[in-house]
Amino acid sequence: MTRYRKQDPEITRRKFINVAMGTTATVGVVSLVSALGTANPVFRLTRDKMPPVKGDILVHAVESKEGQPIRMADLSEKLVRAWPMGKDEDGNSIIRKGDPNNILAVYRFPKGQIQAPTNLEATVEGEIVVYSDVCTHAGCSVADDDQRAGAMKCPCHSGQYDPKQGCKVIGGPPPRPLAQLPVRLDGENLVVGDFFLQNPYPFNEAEWEARKKEVEEQLG
Ligand code: FES
């Protein structure tokens, strides 16, 4: 005959606490894993952060005119800052200013002044040329050089570039030219012809190739 043995109340209490703690921990881990599993990937490349892509329209970046398409008449030997404007997943226009490194510098020089190593085929009729406006030294936005007509100067450490010659470095610490962006005219709009021809800040060559691939895959 089996005799019922009364359990030690202390053992029962400890057992209960252990089971309860184990259950809570398990539920906690499961919740965390589910939350992580369903969360959006942190580094997903959204359309507003994509670098300029073929077909984007260049629009003014200055606050008073932001979003207005840039026209030939707006351009001169003075720097005009621009954003690329593309489409979101629903086909609506989106300015790609989610990444400040997408800011662009647009110039129009009299015919014959733009020379090698500028890629002339990536300009509009040898007159309009577009570069990344982000310094290759440490990422500051580059401006016109007040002391030297036709040149660009970085306000951070005085890096200087020549926009008539492929934005080659003509002074200061930048390690390489500003990247040139191919453009063309489509009606009245200034439109991106392709990706940057060189790796723009902050990418090295391999990273830039990977980013282009990622964008192409995402846009199909
Ligand atoms: S960030 Fe432009 S020269 Fe240093």
Kindly state whether residue 52 falls inside one of the protein's structural domains: no
- Whether 28 and 116 map to the same domain: the answer is no
Residue 138 beta carbon below 6 angstroms from any ligand 1 atom = yes
- Ligand 1 center to 178 CA (angstroms): 11
- Ligand 1 center to 173 CA (angstroms): 7
- Whether 62 and 92 map to the same domain: the answer is yes
What pLDDT shows up at residue 29?
Answer: 41
- Across 14-18, 62-66, 178-182, 207-211, least confident range: 14-18
What CATH number does the domain containing 199 carry? Answer: 2.102.10.10
- Whether 14 and 111 map to the same domain: the answer is no
Above 80 in pLDDT, residue 20?
no
pLDDT tens digit sequence for 166-191: 999 999 999 999 999 999 999 999 99
Kindly state whether residue 156 falls inside one of the protein's structural domains: yes
What pLDDT shows up at residue 208?
Answer: 98
**Cα 128 to Cα 108: distance, rounded to the nearest angstrom:** 4
Query: What mean pLDDT is reported for the chain?
Result: 87
- Whether 174 and 207 map to the same domain: the answer is yes
**Cα 59 to Cα 84: distance, rounded to the nearest angstrom:** 6
Q: Which atom, in ligand 1's list, is nearest to the CA of 154?
A: 2
Tally the domains of the chain.
Answer: 2
Kindly state whether residue 84 falls inside one of the protein's structural domains: yes
Kindly state whether residue 49 falls inside one of the protein's structural domains: no
**What is the residue with the minimal CA distance to atom 1 of ligand 1?**
138
> 12 lies in which domain range?
1-39
Residue 52 beta carbon below 6 angstroms from any ligand 1 atom = no
- Ligand 1 center to 189 CA (angstroms): 31
pLDDT tens digit sequence for 22-41: 444 444 443 443 444 344 44
Kindly state whether residue 48 falls inside one of the protein's structural domains: no
- Whether 61 and 145 map to the same domain: the answer is yes
Residue 156 beta carbon below 6 angstroms from any ligand 1 atom = yes
Who has greater pLDDT, 85 or 4?
Answer: 85
- Ligand 1 center to 35 CA (angstroms): 41
- Whether 3 and 98 map to the same domain: the answer is no
Above 70 in pLDDT, residue 161?
yes
- Whether 131 and 184 map to the same domain: the answer is yes
- Ligand 1 center to 175 CA (angstroms): 10
DSSP string computed for 47-104: TTTSPP-TTPEEEE-SGGGTTPBP-GGG-SSS-EEEEEEEE-TTS-EEE--SSGGG-E
- Whether 24 and 82 map to the same domain: the answer is no
